[in-house]
Structure 1
Amino acid sequence: MCVPCALSGMAAAAEIATDPGDYAALPPGVDLGIVYYQHTERNAFHSGGDRVPGPFKLKTDIGLLRYVHFTKLGDYVIDPQIIVPFGSVSLKEPASESSSGVGDPMLGGTLWLVNQPERKQWFGLSAFASVPVGNYEARKGGVNIGQNRWKGIFHAGYVTALGDSFMLDFILETAVYGKNDNYAGQTLKQDGSHSAQAHLRYLVSPQTHLALSYFHDIGGETKLNGVAQHDRMNNNRLLATFATFVAPDLQLQVQGGQALNIENGWKESSRLNLRVVKVF
């Protein structure tokens, strides 16, 4: 899972970008402690599908601390969890501004309606709430770690085997937003956003996999004091993954990728994600 968007109120990407294998349930009683690091660089800005002339440079370095507990609710496996983002966002061009600190924590989890590990098939529904208690300075507008607004994020995720060596994960996301009543002295509202996420995994061994992921994000137009900003998303990107267990209870993952097409907003020129998972 990647960090929620660090650009407060700017339509940019899926609110929760899943990782390959996220929707394969683990047995009740298992706990996960996960640390993420994400570095992204954006050197172009697009409006109406066209690149806007002029210098643009935005860099983010974001971390996540995540705790997941697998348990049962009646006959169903669930995984209540908490996610705490932190890090920095730095705008260099066309202006200079930066922000750092702890972002808005997220509370939620998944309920698996289909949990058939013997057939390598799962289907789960997730709900998360982003609580607006992170670092936020109104004068910085979109260059903030916190967002000064509530968010609800909802997923439906399906995983299935494709033969003996491949797995397919497919996730749909919908996000809804509360208003930010102090966005550089203005009121920010945002339409709901939607994302389709697909991961094709190749199982090198029981401990190691490679994956190629595709993300497509739409919607999420913003309004400032009731004036539409014409920044509706219709964006996509690719991400490659290598993950392996270096010990029975320790997994390392590295990812790299970039944006393909951007209708409105910042275009991501490069992304590096690192993840460490400790199984308890």
Structure 2
Amino acid sequence: MSNPEMKMPIRRHLAAATALMLGLSANAAVNDVLPADFFPLATGTTTFAVYAYNRQFSGPYSHGNKLLDGELSSQIVALRAGHFIEVAGMPVSLVAVLPWSQNAVSPTPLARALGEEARGLGDLRFGATGWLLANRESGEYIGLTSLLFVPSGDYDSRQALNVGENRYKFTLNGGWIKPLGSGVIFELVPEVAWFGDNTDYVGGRTLKQKTAYALSSHLRYRANQNWQFHLGSQINRGGETRINAVDQHNAPDNSRAVLGTTYLTDDKSHQFIFRVARDLEVKNGFKINSEIMLRYMKIF
């Protein structure tokens, strides 16, 4: 016969791990920045981009230990519109993002804990980037991005797995682009994310989340005027949750690696980015075993 007392720690760890499922955002930086995103385009330029992600997760993990052989499949499509203006002689980019996703969980025991599936529109995002340094001669740029997430997405308080988050979020990103010579470019993007409270989390409980931090970096190689290749890494720290004033001790503390390529057409009006990524390690939550991303951007 099974011992109920032995099962209780597992249940508590599972609850802490699943508390990170809000919006599926705890496994990566909240604002996903791609290579050259901190390159300012000419004043008056408008961009329209379509993102497509396929992510396969395993877990959940708690304190580095895998609790279940669970699987989570997530497909995301996002639309982003941007426009470049000039303020006090400084380039500024205004952006709006609308995501949609569908997510499915297996096997049945994990689906019962999280919710079997979630699909629909995600939370709207509005942001702006201002460049403190934009030296087109040297190719060095320093930008600052603020992004507000509005709780407008589909949300079901009966389960942990959701597309929307039922709370506000705010992120602040810095971006530094530095050419190293011979077509090699280094990029560094730190991020800080602050979270509002979700007062209707799984049955009317209150979920709070501590500040989260991320550091992303890319090394790009410009092969010619059309093709670039990049490799990168990301480290995520912080972001522990608290449910009804009870600390969950569940910071993701994960790191990931990315590899990709960028193609820009000769007329510089169409850009394609293809990327693959995976988590190298994760302490709490779900581990991204594979991610495939494609972005198409039209530049007007």
TM-score, scaled relative to structure 2: 0.88
Residue correspondence of structure 1 range 1-280 to structure 2 within 5 A: 7-8=22-23, 11-52=26-67, 54-93=68-107, 94-96=109-111, 97-141=116-160, 143-185=161-203, 186-248=205-267, 249-280=269-300
Give the Cα–Cα distance (whole angstroms) in 2 for the partners of residues 169 and 55 of structure 1.
36
SS of equivalent to 1:140: coil
Q: Which has the higher strand share?
A: 1
The alpha-carbon distance between structure 1 residues 28 and 10, as it changes in their structure 2 partners (threshold 3 A), is closer
Q: Which runs of 5+ in 2 are unaligned?
A: 1-19
Q: Which amino acid aligns with 2:290?
A: S
State the AA in 2 paired with 1:127. S
Question: Does the 8 Å contact 2:131/2:143 carry over to 1?
Answer: yes
Alpha-carbon distance in structure 2 between the residues aligned to 1:202 and 1:168? 9
From the two aligned structures, give the one with the greater helix fraction.
2
Residues 136, 145 of structure 1: 8 Å contact kept:
yes
For residue 158 of structure 2, give the secondary structure of its aligned residue in structure 1. Answer: helix
- Taking the aligned partners of 1:279 and 1:6, their CA distance within structure 2 comes to 34
Offset of 1:50 from its aligned partner? Answer: 2.2
Residue type of the partner of 1:221? E
- The alpha-carbon deviation at position 51 of structure 1 amounts to 2.2
Which runs of no fewer than 5 residues in structure 1 stay unpaired? none
Q: TM-score, normalised by structure 1?
A: 0.94
Contact 1:67–1:82, Cα closer than 8 Å, also in 2 = yes
How far residue 9 of structure 1 moved from its aligned partner, in angstroms, is: 7.4
Shift of 1:183: 0.7
Q: Deviations over 1:225-255 (max 9, x none)?
A: 1111111121100011111024521111111
- Distance in 2 between residues matched to 1:240 and 1:113, nearest whole Å: 28
State the alpha-carbon separation in 2 of the partners of residues 274 and 85 from structure 1: 14
Q: In the alignment, is the contact (CA less than 8 A) between 2:24 and 2:163 conserved in 1?
A: no
| Distance (Å, rounded) in 2 between the aligned partners of 1:9 and 1:272 | 16
Kept after mapping to 2: 8 A contact 1:235/1:262: yes
- CA distance in structure 2 between the partners assigned to 1:214 and 1:37 by the alignment: 20
Distance 1:246 1:239, change over 3 A: same
* C-alpha distance in structure 1 between counterparts of 2:251 and 2:95, whole Å: 30
**Residue type of the alignment partner of 1:273:** M
C-alpha distance in 1 between matches for 2:263 and 2:195 = 36
**4+ residue segments displaced more than 4 Å:** none
Q: 1:53-92: CA deviations, max 9, x gaps?
A: x321101001110001011011100001101111211112
User: What amino acid maps onto 2:297 in structure 1?
Assistant: V
Tell me how far apart the structure 2 counterparts of residues 211 and 117 of structure 1 sit (CA, whole Å): 21
Mapped contact 1:6–1:146 kept (Cα < 8 A):
no
What percent of counterpart residues are identical?
Answer: 29
Q: Which one has the largest radius of gyration?
A: 2
CA distance in 1, matches of 2:169, 2:163: 14
